[in-house]
Amino acid sequence: MGSPRRVYVGAFAHCKSLEELDICDAGAIGVGESGRIEFIERDVDDISSVLEKQGWKGVKVVKIKDHGFFFPGFIDTHIHAPQYPNAGIFGKTTLIDWLDKYTFPMEASFSSLARARQVYNRIVNRTLSHGTTTAAYYATVHVPATNLLADICHAKHQRAFIGRVCMDTMSPPNYRDTSPEDAVAATRATIQHITSLDPSHSLLIPIITPRFAPSCTPACLSALGRLHKETNLPIQTHIAENHAELDLVRRTFPSHPSYTAVYDDHGLLGPRTVLAHAVHLSPAEVALIRARGAKVSHCPASNTALTSGAAKVRELLLEDITIGLGTDVSGGYSPSVLVAARHAVMVSRHVAMGSGEGEGDAAKLTEAEVLWLATRGGARALGLEERVGGFEVGMEWDAQMVVLGEGVGVDGEGGEAEGPVDVFGWESWEERIAKWLYNGDDRNTAAVWVKGELVHKTQAFSG
């Protein structure tokens, strides 16, 4: 079982804390057959002496190229796999009309397994190519298609949370659960299938997925709360994305003090709950989320594209809320977490500008901070912080090899770089990583590993 032992040699970077990007320009990371990191050496100038010291002589070495570095795999805490064909198609809609016009019709079409096979293969390939080693997927209501998504993630060895969407009200007649019992039974069927693929849930994890409060009856929410209590499986849902939705929740759940309280009152708010968006929360709701230890998935591109709002990430961080990043395809148009991190910087600037002169400066997120959200933050949000999101001995090798422009013309003529990032040679490591954050894309992600296994590579990789 597992891959043979390998040593990854060269520069690496990962987030040590929210503020601190730890960069090692000559490292060696040994990964054992279990896919776990067994040693990390820094200041390596002679790899053979490292191998000798570790007793790993003869083991395969994967070397980084110039201007490249190993980085933890990205964690997408919120992505709707069936919506991928709609990426970039949203026009001037906002949440509720966007659901009716684009989303429900597309998702409903996943009653066809052929459709599901085509789209799910594509999106899993895409997310892997963008360095997403863990994704928390929403599927659709359909059990066969949801199980197929699990099969595809299993086959491609992506770490994935697979959520069969539950919705028994305010949904199209041809695309909904017919009863709470139906929602639970269908969810159980997917849990069973996922567990048959991966009995210990080491890479594939079922996740209980009420779409959002307005699309579930109280009975359905309660039944899913009980299912969580019984199984201790994680939960994902949406919260406080836009104003019309807040109104809808107030009308639909008039006796509950807040949107957050709706989930709490139905047993759905706990340390294993991931709440997407969290754009418009009251202080009382933030306090309740913190008290329950629930997590937030920040989806900056989606929130801007659908004119939902700008989430106050700094405020949430200061309140000790755990936050990860979500691409929220297709509310967000890009399946890349790197792009989501870029948007997180940009949205934080708008939050800063909206807060009045000067004062808002603290709202600005740094490059290091958004990369923390994209890795460590996401891992914490999904309860995987002991296993992925950084490079530590004992953690699993979910990683990407990032290569930056290598065509710097030594003759001064400015030869072409291979990817979208131009490195001129004088940049500091921090500056190279900033260049990658802002202009990089899947061409810079030369190889991707999940739990030690190579799951994606480009022609730039010859490992």
Q: Which of 5, 101, 201, 364 binds a copy of itself (CB under 8 A)?
A: 364
In this chain, which stretch among 36-44, 113-121, 219-227, 263-271 interacts with a copy of itself, using CB under 8 A? 113-121
Is 196 a binder of a copy of itself (CB under 8 A)? Answer: no
Query: Could you tell me the two tokens for 235?
Result: 């939960």
Counting DSSP H helices and E strands in the chain, the numbers are 16, 18
Give min distance, CB of 304 to a copy of itself, in A.
5
- Cα–Cα dist 455/133, whole Å: 9
Q: Binding of a copy of itself at residue 434 (CB under 8 A)?
A: yes
Token duo for residue 372 = 């923390």
What token pair was written down for 223?
A: 């039944």
Measured CA distances, 211 to 2, 207, 249, 305 (Å): 36, 12, 13, 20
Q: Any contact of residue 416 with a copy of itself (CB under 8 A)?
A: yes
26 binds a copy of itself (CB under 8 A): no
Torsion angles phi and psi, residue 49, rounded to 5 = -70, -30
**Minimal distance, residue 26 CB to a copy of itself, in Å:** 24
361 interacts with a copy of itself by CB under 8 A: yes
Q: How far apart are the first and last CA of the chain?
A: 20
For a copy of itself, the closer CB: 34 or 121: 121
Going by C-alpha positions, the residue among 112, 101, 110, 174 that lies closest to residue 138 is 110
Among 107, 177, 265, 367, binds a copy of itself (CB under 8 A): 367
Three-state secondary-structure class, residue 323: strand
Q: Is 125 in the site for a copy of itself (CB under 8 A)?
A: yes
Q: Examine residue 460 and tell whether it contacts a copy of itself (CB under 8 A).
A: no
Query: CB under 8 A: which stretch of 4-12, 63-71, 284-292, 417-425 binds a copy of itself?
Result: 417-425
Is residue 354 within the footprint of a copy of itself (CB under 8 A)?
yes
For residue 4 the two structure tokens come to 């043979």
Q: Which two tokens stand for residue 10?
A: 């060269």
The nearer residue to a copy of itself, 40 or 96, going by C-beta atoms, is 96
Q: Minimum Å distance from CB 412 to a copy of itself? A: 5
Q: Classify each residue of 229-260 as buried b or exposed e, where b means 16 or more C-beta atoms within 10 Å of its C-beta.
A: eeeebbbbbbbbbbeebbebbeebbeebebbb
CB 67 within 8 A of CB 432: yes
Does the protein bind a copy of itself through residue 309 (CB under 8 A)?
yes
Residue among 171, 187, 334, 444 that touches a copy of itself (CB under 8 A): 334
Nearer to a copy of itself, 71 or 263 (CB): 71
- The interface region with a copy of itself, picked from 120-128, 248-256, 372-380, 386-394 by CB under 8 A, is 120-128
Q: Minimum distance between the CB of residue 110 and a copy of itself, rounded to whole angstroms?
A: 13
Q: Distance between CA 453 and CA 463 in Å, rounded?
A: 12
Identify the residue among 366, 418, 453, 457 touching a copy of itself (CB under 8 A): 366
CA distance 446 to 462: 9
Q: Which amino acid is at 238?
A: H
20 lies in the site for a copy of itself, by CB under 8 A: no
Residue with token string 């106050």: 312
Q: How far is CA 30 from CA 131, 216, 459, 462, in A?
A: 20, 47, 24, 18
Where do we find the tokens 């992506």? 158
Tokens 């030369």, residue located: 446
Tell me 4's DSSP state: P
For a copy of itself, the binding residue among 69, 70, 333, 449 (CB under 8 A) is 333
> Which residue from 125, 151, 119, 124 is spatially nearest to 137, judged by alpha carbons?
124
Number of residues near a copy of itself (by CB under 8 A): 56
- DSSP letter at 353 equals H
Is 426 exposed, middle or buried, given 0-12, 13-18 or 19+ CB atoms closer than 10 A?
exposed
* Chosen residue from 62, 352, 404, 450 binding a copy of itself by CB under 8 A: 352
Whose Cβ is closer to a copy of itself: residue 93's or residue 237's?
93
What is the rounded distance in angstroms from the CA atom of residue 232 to the CA atom of residue 100?
32
Residues 132-151 touching a copy of itself, rule: CB under 8 A, are none
Q: Identify the DSSP state of 84.
A: G
Positions in 240-269 near a copy of itself (CB under 8 A):
243
Give min distance, CB of 146 to a copy of itself, in A: 17
Least Å distance between CB 354 and a copy of itself? 6
70-109 positions binding a copy of itself, by CB under 8 A: 84-85, 87-89, 91-92
Cβ proximity to a copy of itself, 88 vs 172, nearer residue: 88
**Identified binder of a copy of itself from the candidate list 197, 287, 353, 460, rule CB under 8 A:** 353
Q: Which residues bind a copy of itself (CB under 8 A)?
A: 84-85, 87-89, 91-92, 114, 117-122, 125-126, 243, 301, 304-305, 307, 309-310, 333-334, 345-346, 349-350, 352-354, 357, 361, 364, 366-367, 409, 412-414, 416, 420, 422, 424, 426-427, 431, 434-439, 441-442
